[in-house]
Structure 1
């Protein structure tokens, strides 16, 4: 069993994930509306600010992971909290486009520093108990199961808090966000153990074991891991369709935007209710089969969307096919996200040690962000061509289906014969952990 100190640290990190998500979702979902109504920015400026926030986070995940390895996870996590506080304070002081842009970039950078460090630190609690492979590690739920639960709770509570505060204006929501992140920073300052600074060359921070002192970007030279990340990035691209192609499908059916909120609520309820049962199934499947099953479910979700898709302007269409698409997609994510996170340490040069994991988690996140950027750009063109030439309305869903099938077939091959099939953590899976925003 993990030591009492390790369990206490894990609870602290999971609590930080919960509060961090509450602080994010209490503010950022309402940012676009506030910039337009309260500050009079046009659509182009709003789009640039929101795009800069996302890009600054996704593009800096690898950099954040490298800093976590160099500084230690504690320092990187605390710095991420402080940078996000600075970002929110800049947004609160903003009255023109330049300050909004700066505040958005700082907000994204804070998440990029926080998330890889937190995941890297949590992965140490995913180690099997002392006593070898037979000591019951396979019967434990991965810590990333609980990360998924806490993240989803934050994503549900945050918008409720933000909506309640908007009656006092957007500045009230920002002030609450600053207070939340300040509380997280203080909590982590006192609760997270002080780790070593820069890692001595060839030494493991936890003890005296010799570890490879490879270059900082060793993860980019690990070709098997890069291939793993590229295929696993399909997971983030698929989940992102809740924000992109699903709203398009609702619009085609003549359904108003209120239905989108209902679909997000459906996703959260399924996550919270089915998290633990799906994790039990994932433990029995093992990592390779869990990844295949998860991506097959994603492919099935997109197949349902393609077959039931309707031409633009169709009236009287039911929302049930879209609900079915979302439900099956979420079930796929319940098998995928924590499996991917728990496998990352097995690709590091010395998976039994603490060193070097931040960069690996950062690269995995960055590959997902690149998949979303490139994939959504291509899907946008395909959606436009489908509407212009009146192609079969399910056409945009076909490449998504094929990508999911390709990932389902390829990932077990990538894992075959590699230590990843005996990952340091249990082969547990869970619902989609909304990566710390």
Structure 2
């Protein structure tokens, strides 16, 4: 086997540039948000479908994406990030073409599921490549804010630009918006085909492990270096970022699931996605309670994106100085405070400018907490994986988040039924979410992986 240094030109040719990965996230989100946010509107207003039908389609899309992230991670590790990303683009293209032709519930459902499956293939592969680039950056830049912060910023820029593009195309028809989205992913497929090397290694392997070379450990004092395999000699002379191409039986899903610390970390971290999903589930109910109206929803979503774009980088710089444990605790406490404020304010009628105070506090708290948590937690996966393939690790993290959203929203649904009117009953969904945020705020800092 051949060892490649992190600075080796041959190794560099096997890696896509970080700029390409960040641009891919930007374009991917533009294509997504140009179409999917308008699904509910089109199904209900243009085709007269019931709220139940709309809810089934939207729920199926979320679960087919988040719930299948682990499968996407396994495919990434088995066939490589390039193939997984290309497959994700092609599947999403097929989903958008189906939506462009849809006029009935079954076609909308099929198109939504295909759209979600495309994301389940694409995102773990992208995060895996970003994770490798982040590991190389960490070895040279220390604690400076990393690529996952930039990934979040690029994603939010796409989340702002996508609906604007979609709204313009929706003036023609939803079919044109879906076809334009398919065209975006078709162009992306071509760019990734040319730019992501086919020979890119499946993972960023770790340093030479003595456990892998028991024979050399026993003979290290007697065997000259000239008699050892070239990879062993090179690895002993290269820095800690040296890469080796090797696969061990411990690289699979079973080994990951045996890592009880990581499984517990992923389980606690999953409520982060449940909390952020309340912008889509709980926020519209709060706007009904406060009388602000649905027209305020677009303004609040724009505010969420602007906050992320403006503050993600400085917050990442701050969290890189205070450390992962404190950053995670602070992030979940900010979300807990946002939900607690909602639990207090939801009891009272709101008039005038105070109509927007509760939803503004909710959006600000959830976004600030999310900015503290995400870019800190994602690089920790590298330390949990310890040089093994990272696709399944990122996949499990996202799949647990999808399951938390599915189960959590199911449990919160009856509680939200009383939250559309001011009064004591409006307290419960927000109070439950506030209490739930305290668990990872306390527990995650105790589950951090050991640094390599």
Matching residue of 2:45: 37
Residue 191 of structure 1: how far off its partner (Å): 0.5
2:437 pairs with 404, 407, 411, which one?
Answer: 404
Alignment of 1:42-191 (within 5 A): 42-128=50-136, 135-138=140-143, 140-191=144-195
Q: Are 1:219 and 1:363, in contact at CA under 8 Å, matched by a contact in 2? A: no
Matching residue of 1:432: none
- CA distance in 2 between counterparts of 1:344 and 1:277 reads 22
* Residue 11 (structure 1) aligned with residue 48 (structure 2): no
Are the structure 2 counterparts of residues 330 and 129 from structure 1 closer, same or farther at C-alpha, using a change threshold of 3 Å? Answer: closer
SS for the counterpart of 2:253 is: coil
2:384 pairs with 326, 333, 347, which one?
Answer: 347
Aligned length: 409
- CA distance in 2 between counterparts of 1:321 and 1:385 reads 17
- CA distance in 1 between counterparts of 2:314 and 2:283 reads 26
Residue 275 of structure 1: how far off its partner (Å): 1.4
Aligned CA RMSD, in angstroms, stands at 2.7
Query: Which structure 1 residue ranges, 5 or more long, are not aligned?
Result: 424-437
Are the structure 2 counterparts of residues 58 and 249 from structure 1 closer, same or farther at C-alpha, using a change threshold of 3 Å? Answer: same
- CA distance in 2 between counterparts of 1:216 and 1:22 reads 32
- CA distance in 1 between counterparts of 2:6 and 2:299 reads 40
Residue 196 of structure 1: how far off its partner (Å): 5.7
Matching residue of 1:433: none
Deviates more, 1:214-223 or 1:237-246: 214-223
- CA distance in 1 between counterparts of 2:165 and 2:438 reads 39
Q: Are 1:128 and 1:137, in contact at CA under 8 Å, matched by a contact in 2? A: no
Q: Are 2:22 and 2:154, in contact at CA under 8 Å, matched by a contact in 1? A: yes
Are the structure 2 counterparts of residues 170 and 191 from structure 1 closer, same or farther at C-alpha, using a change threshold of 3 Å? Answer: same
The alignment's TM-score, normalised by the length of structure 2, stands at 0.84
Residue 216 of structure 1: how far off its partner (Å): 3.3
Matching residue of 2:220: none
1:364 pairs with 358, 380, 397, which one?
Answer: 397
Larger Rg: 2
* Residue 222 (structure 1) aligned with residue 230 (structure 2): no
- CA distance in 1 between counterparts of 2:402 and 2:265 reads 15
SS for the counterpart of 1:264 is: helix
Q: Are 1:116 and 1:362, in contact at CA under 8 Å, matched by a contact in 2? A: yes
Matching residue of 1:308: 345
Are the structure 2 counterparts of residues 172 and 206 from structure 1 closer, same or farther at C-alpha, using a change threshold of 3 Å? Answer: farther
Deviates more, 1:112-121 or 1:202-211: 202-211
SS for the counterpart of 2:23 is: helix
